[in-house]
Amino acid sequence: MNLESIIKGCIRQNRKAQEELYQRYKNTLFMLSLKYCSNEAEAEDNLHNAFIEIFTHIDKFGNKGSFEGWMKRIVINKAISSYRKNYQLIPIKEDYPQDTTVSDDEMNIPADAILQLIQELPNQYRLVFCLYELDDYSHKEIADMLSISESTSKSNLHRAKQILKEKITKNHSYPNYTQQYGKQ
């Protein structure tokens, strides 16, 4: 089944088309959800809620841009909505330098270990870090999405990078790193 047929089937609420769409994109959207959630269970809930919205509003896609990009925005927006509902996003006033640098030695870490470190960040730092560094949103867009100022977005990004660097340089202090990857 091609994507256009799957979308048309989903608009008609055809269960086979919905299953096909889910199977085709579940892994990609789950990995995206993991970036914005603090654990796998939360990411699964977010993915579930995103697919409900995708199936409910698929007729509004309108073929403007990438269908996968449209679904990714839904996943990200669902994660942000969940945080808004469950946590208060507090504007944090901090002075921050332009950027935090990480050496090549510090970047020699498996992707799943980095993902685990990102998931351990405080909620607001994780959201800003993922939106800016991983999904290429500007600080203005992030500020609008999270109802914070641009300077708070920049400060949160800097603090997230500092926390990640500290965790990486402290003997890769995430669980089982030394056992799994042989680092001392």
Q: Find the range with the poorest average confidence among 63-72, 91-100, 107-116, 158-167.
A: 91-100
Q: Per residue in 152-165, pLDDT tens?
A: 999 999 999 999 98
Q: Per residue in 125-137, pLDDT tens?
A: 999 999 999 999 9
Q: Would you tell me how many other CB atoms lie within 10 Å of the CB of residue 104? A: 6
Structure tokens of 48?
């579930």
Structure tokens of 159?
């603090």
Across residues 165-174, what is the average pLDDT? Answer: 70
Number of alpha helices (DSSP H) and beta strands (DSSP E) in the chain: 9, 0
- 55/17 Cα distance (integer angstroms): 10
